[in-house]
Amino acid sequence: MAEQNSELVFLPLGGTGEIGMNCNLYGYGPRGDRDWLMVDLGVTFGGAYEPGVDLITADIEFIEQRKDRLLGILLTHGHEDHIGAVAHLLHRLKCPLYATPFTAELVKGKLSERGILDEVELNIIDTDAHLELGPFSLDYICLTHSIAEPSAIAIEVGGYRALHTGDWKIDPDPVIGRLTEVDRLKALGDKGIDAIICDSTNVLSPGRSGSEADVAKNLLEAVADSPGRVVITTFASNVARMTSIADVAVKSGRHLCLAGRGMHKIYQAARKTGYMTQFPELIEDKDAGYLPPDKLLLCCTGSQGEANAALGRMANGHHPHLTLEAGDRVIFSSKMIPGNEKEILSLQNKLAQLDVEIVTPNGTDIHVSGHPCRDELADMYSWARPRAALPVHGEHRHLIAHAALAKELGVPEPLRIHNGDLVRIAPGPTEVINVVPTGRLYLDGSVLTSGKHLATRDRRKLSETGVVFVAVPIDQANRLAGRFEVSIAGLPEDDGMVKMVDWALDAVERAIPSSGKLTPERAENDIRIGVRREMARRWGKKPMVLVSFIEV
């Protein structure tokens, strides 16, 4: 039973109002005295607006300040947007990790790369594990998704219940792993669920997402009639898809080669945890070139147009062992993730220049989503029958549509929320009771920094307008002590007649007093403004100007 004044609350720090960077908290107790659980700790990836940034994580300052009451981190599955921040942030929280075997194997690889595996309490649990952490009673429930061992987590505390779905779909033939545990979901619904916290990614798509087994059949047809080598590019984490591709290789009489570091990492993790036991013997990429083209099937990374992935390197002729020729076929067994369109289409154009045949999911069934469409969401709600629905894992348009669908399906209290909304789930009614500060942390090289310390604004400026460097020699009395120097980077060499650096030199000379006596702070501002104005007049753009005074 609930203790007096105790509440079950939910707080998303990331992944609500966006796809990726999932980081969720559940708390129980009276206000100011709660125990906490974290579900998932993922990343998203930097884009054009964050040049030089590799990964982006949720800012965990809220729970870091309460880490003595954080009982553990529960991982629902092994996708990067759910586990990718663990190795970067766990040292700040110093709490136990809980993951099923395949997910744990992926996490162990990340922890090993950072040299901290021995410092982490990683608890490997069964796919139907029951855990007791502080006041929380937790049950992992098997679902299906586009990776091995996806789990929902049933949370019970103080007589209240919540169901956190993680990422899921309903696949009647998932190729690997177990079927969705419908009976357990129904039994949980019979007990009464206060709130479901549910995946929203495909709520705008009618019908069902489709089965992985159907993809395998269609891939076989797409491979069988090709006279040349065939490349299938897909998400490396999709163990079921990799298994289907292996089966296609055997049935089409081709040798299978995995290309790309991500493919090999997932393959090794799957083998270690009991998957892919009937996998055919692989051909190494250094040997693949010796095979007749019609006897080779390549499974590789690069489906999102990544230039340094295996497919991108092949398309650009940079792969050390693998090449593509006219008559080969490249099959994109993947969706085009929003934001990656430009890179993917550029890659496909490069393939087309090589006279390579391109097969995409448009109009074919060579890919299925790992997230629930509307009919699957309707099934989940019919099983769980929650009092409240909290849509997560989706952009705002998805969350709005999901809340509306939940209302159509008879959920009494659908609630659209945002990152930072502290939601009281129970006792009801379910509502936002506070808003806490949230933000992002950026992995810039090997440095994890907050947005206010990030240099991306300057990098964007440099990419657009370049930079002018001005070095001014001065003596101890702050007088000009020699000839100043100007150099440029990222600007045109000339304006058609005069070198740009000469125009900049003229602007610097005009900005320096004829007496040669300088006040560095004022002179720096005058030089910067003068150079920017001159460049704007001659070039039409105002570059960044960096001025340094060198005492001689």
Tell me whether residue 354 is in a domain. yes
Q: In what order do the strands lie in the sheet with 160-164?
A: 130-133, 136-142, 151-157, 160-164, 195-199, 388-392, 413-414
Same domain, 138 and 45: yes
Residues listed for the chain: 552
Q: What is the pLDDT of residue 2?
A: 64
In terms of residue numbers, what domain contains 57? 7-207+369-452
Per residue in 353-393, pLDDT tens?
999 999 998 766 899 999 999 999 999 999 999 999 999 99
Tell me whether residue 364 is in a domain. no
Q: What is the pLDDT of residue 336?
A: 86
Q: What is the pLDDT of residue 317?
A: 93
Name the residue among 126, 43, 36 with its Cα closest to residue 82. 43
| Domain-ending residue, one of 452, 476, 491 | 452
Same domain, 287 and 324: yes
The tokens for 316 are 């650009």
CB of 429 within 8 A of CB of 41?
A: no
Same domain, 385 and 436: yes
Q: What is the pLDDT of residue 74?
A: 98
CATH number of residue 480's parent domain: 3.10.20.580
Same domain, 320 and 389: no
Please tell me the distance from the alpha carbon of residue 176 to that of residue 237, in angstroms, as a whole number. 13
Per residue in 500-519, pLDDT tens?
999 999 999 999 988 878 88
| Total domain count, the chain | 3
| Domain-ending residue, one of 359, 384, 414 | 359
Same domain, 244 and 343: yes
Same domain, 193 and 216: no
Tell me whether residue 385 is in a domain. yes
Backbone angles phi, psi at 55, to 5 degrees: -135, 155
Tell me whether residue 1 is in a domain. no
Same domain, 503 and 521: yes
Tell me whether residue 53 is in a domain. yes
Q: At what angle do helices 239-251 and 212-224 cross, to 10 degrees?
A: 40
- DSSP category for residue 179: P
Counting as low any pLDDT under 70, the low residues of the chain are 1-2, 48, 363-364, 452-453
Tell me whether residue 349 is in a domain. yes
Tell me whether residue 373 is in a domain. yes
Backbone angles phi, psi at 177, to 5 degrees: 80, 180
- Distance of CA 546 to CAs 267, 471, 472, 513, 527, Å? 49, 9, 11, 19, 9
Q: What is the pLDDT of residue 48?
A: 67
Same domain, 60 and 104: yes
Q: What is the pLDDT of residue 1?
A: 60
Please tell me the distance from the alpha carbon of residue 446 to that of residue 439, in angstroms, as a whole number. 19
| Domain-ending residue, one of 307, 332, 359 | 359
Q: What is the pLDDT of residue 373?
A: 97
- DSSP category for residue 158: T
CATH number of residue 351's parent domain: 3.40.50.10710
Half-sphere exposure of 155 (CA within 13 A, CB side): 28
- Distance of CA 101 to CAs 154, 178, 266, 516, Å? 19, 14, 13, 72
Same domain, 256 and 313: yes
Half-sphere exposure of 536 (CA within 13 A, CB side): 9
Same domain, 293 and 177: no
Same domain, 102 and 180: yes
Same domain, 486 and 546: yes
The tokens for 386 are 């929650």
Tell me whether residue 423 is in a domain. yes
CATH number of residue 114's parent domain: 3.60.15.10
